[in-house]
């Protein structure tokens, strides 16, 4: 519904994938193969949920993913001839991305630009992330030297952060007409052009932090993800990972602070639980199961991050589940990548 109470027309570009069955990795592998990359399991646990929107020569993937390693190498590059660009943005979680051998651990709001004509790697332990696929000719018409940014981390902590701008767009993406999507592509390419004016030293300064603080933050994030239903106060987290509260604050400052990380991860887990399409279980039960104090608390956090309430998200999934033309599959993805690379 719109704020005026008028039903909003269904977005014809929206596609959803929700797979939690035993064969889910095989299906996800085939999906990613359509984009020109190989995927490997990281461990025993795997889960993937994808919402996708395709607007002609721009495609947006909104993913929640557990336990996958993505690689694009020279064999893939020679085989498919893809030349598009893709921008990966982390909303929350634990993700390492970049050029093979030079991957960096991302923090929420960070973006990584990839050129499909060069190798890349992205390792997702447990992540909530967005990927925007952009046509090469449209990007280079505005930013002809952008290929030099391949694999570079564009920090979310900087003023005018590209990653934060993309996440802001995504909060209203369900209502975008195709003409607006084209405008978004133009905004992204213009922002990339501005990034190119910055020095390599500025990048190094922006993404640098002590190994000790990085290690503490990672331990805290793993503890949070594994204990969402528990008391996740700063005191409890600091005590559990064996650091002082002040040390925890310093380590978590780069990702918005302890409360922000806990809220993002609980909202991401709520979205994942709803995506499993267990219609017998109430959203309120899910919210309490993962540590929200109430359904209203969970709904506010969810809407702040994703731009729609949990009920609206569940309704969209149900609607897509009964519509064959809304299903996301490898064949459809191949068509999209073909259009973008024409």
The tens digit of pLDDT for each residue in 45-63 reads: 898 888 888 887 889 899 9
Residue 338 counted as domain residue: no
282 and 317 co-located in one domain: yes
**Per-position DSSP letters for 73-99, written without gaps between them:** -HHHHHHH----EEEEEEEEEEEEEES
Q: What percent of the chain has pLDDT above 90?
A: 45
Q: Domain with 276 in it: what CATH number?
A: 1.10.10.60
161 and 263 co-located in one domain: no
84 and 149 co-located in one domain: yes
Residue 113 counted as domain residue: yes
The pLDDT, as a whole number, for residue 267 is 94
Lowest-confidence pick of 157-161, 301-305, 334-338: 157-161
pLDDT band at 177; cut points 50, 70, 90? low
Domain-terminating residue out of 207, 235, 253: 207
pLDDT (tens digit, 9 = 90+) per residue, 135-148? 999 888 878 888 98
Count up the domains in the chain and report the number. 2
Q: Which two tokens stand for residue 152?
A: 């570079």
CA–CA dist 225, 243 (Å, integer):
18
pLDDT (tens digit, 9 = 90+) per residue, 104-128? 999 999 999 999 999 999 999 999 9
Contacts of 303 (CB under 8 A, 6+ apart): 309
Domain-terminating residue out of 164, 186, 207: 207
203 and 216 co-located in one domain: no
146 and 225 co-located in one domain: no
Contacts of 144 (CB under 8 A, 6+ apart): none
268 and 309 co-located in one domain: yes
pLDDT (tens digit, 9 = 90+) per residue, 201-226? 444 454 555 667 877 887 888 889 88
253 and 155 co-located in one domain: no
120 and 196 co-located in one domain: yes
Report residue 63: phi and psi, to 5°: -120, 145
Residue 289 counted as domain residue: yes
Domain-terminating residue out of 173, 189, 207: 207
Higher pLDDT, 277 or 247: 247
Q: Domain with 79 in it: what CATH number?
A: 2.60.120.10
pLDDT (tens digit, 9 = 90+) per residue, 287-299? 999 999 999 999 9
Residue 105 counted as domain residue: yes
Higher pLDDT, 29 or 280: 29
Return the number of other C-beta atoms located less than 10 Å from residue 98's C-beta.
21
pLDDT (tens digit, 9 = 90+) per residue, 2-15? 222 223 334 545 66
The pLDDT, as a whole number, for residue 37 is 96
Contacts of 248 (CB under 8 A, 6+ apart): 216, 220, 234, 237, 238, 241, 258
Mean pLDDT in residue range 164-179: 67
Higher pLDDT, 324 or 298: 298
146 and 167 co-located in one domain: yes
Residue 339 counted as domain residue: no
∠ at Cα 172 (130, 228), nearest 5°? 55
pLDDT band at 20; cut points 50, 70, 90? very low
The pLDDT, as a whole number, for residue 1 is 28
- Answer positive or negative: Cα dihedral of 228, 234, 239, 242: positive
Residue 162 counted as domain residue: yes
- Answer positive or negative: Cα dihedral of 283, 274, 313, 225: positive
Residue 57 counted as domain residue: yes
Q: What is the domain extent for residue 74?
A: 14-207
256 and 173 co-located in one domain: no
Q: Which two tokens stand for residue 231?
A: 């008391």
Please tell me the pTM assigned to this model: 0.76
Report residue 64: phi and psi, to 5°: -120, 130
Q: What is the DSSP letter of 294?
A: S
CA–CA dist 128, 267 (Å, integer):
10
Residue 4 counted as domain residue: no
137 and 181 co-located in one domain: yes
Q: What percent of the chain has pLDDT above 70?
A: 82
158 and 282 co-located in one domain: no
């Amino acid at each position: 519904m719109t704020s005026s109470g008028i039903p909003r027309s269904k977005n014809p570009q929206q596609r959803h994938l929700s797979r939690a069955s035993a064969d889910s990795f095989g299906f996800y592998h085939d999906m990613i193969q359509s984009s020109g990359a190989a995927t490997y399991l990281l461990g025993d646990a795997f889960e993937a949920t994808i919402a996708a929107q395709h607007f002609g020569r721009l495609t947006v993937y909104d993913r929640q993913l557990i336990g996958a390693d993505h690689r694009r190498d020279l064999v893939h590059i020679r085989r498919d001839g893809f030349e598009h660009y893709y921008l990966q943005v982390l909303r929350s979680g634990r993700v390492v991305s970049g050029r093979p051998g030079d991957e960096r651990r991302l923090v929420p709001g960070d973006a990584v630009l990839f050129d499909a004509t060069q190798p890349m790697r992205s390792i997702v332990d447990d992540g909530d992330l967005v990927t925007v696929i952009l046509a090469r000719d449209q990007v280079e018409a505005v930013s002809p030297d952008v290929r030099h940014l391949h694999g570079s981390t564009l920090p979310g902590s900087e003023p005018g952060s590209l990653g934060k701008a993309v996440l802001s767009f995504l909060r209203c993406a369900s209502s975008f007409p195709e003409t607006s999507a084209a405008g978004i592509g133009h905004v992204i390419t213009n922002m990339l052009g501005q990034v190119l004016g910055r020095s390599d030293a500025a990048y190094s300064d922006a993404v640098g932090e002590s190994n000790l603080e990085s290690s503490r933050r990672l331990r805290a994030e793993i503890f949070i993800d594994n204990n969402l239903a528990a008391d996740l106060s700063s005191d409890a987290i600091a005590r559990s990972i064996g650091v002082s509260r002040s040390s925890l604050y310093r380590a978590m400052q780069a990702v918005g602070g302890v409360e922000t990380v806990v809220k993002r991860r609980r909202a991401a887990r709520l979205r994942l639980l709803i995506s499993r399409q267990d219609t017998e279980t109430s959203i309120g039960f899910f919210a309490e199961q993962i540590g929200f104090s109430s359904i209203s608390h969970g709904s506010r956090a969810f809407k702040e991050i994703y731009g729609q309430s949990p009920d609206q998200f569940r309704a969209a999934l149900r609607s897509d589940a009964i519509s064959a033309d809304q299903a996301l599959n490898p064949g459809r993805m191949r068509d999209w990548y073909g259009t973008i690379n024409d």
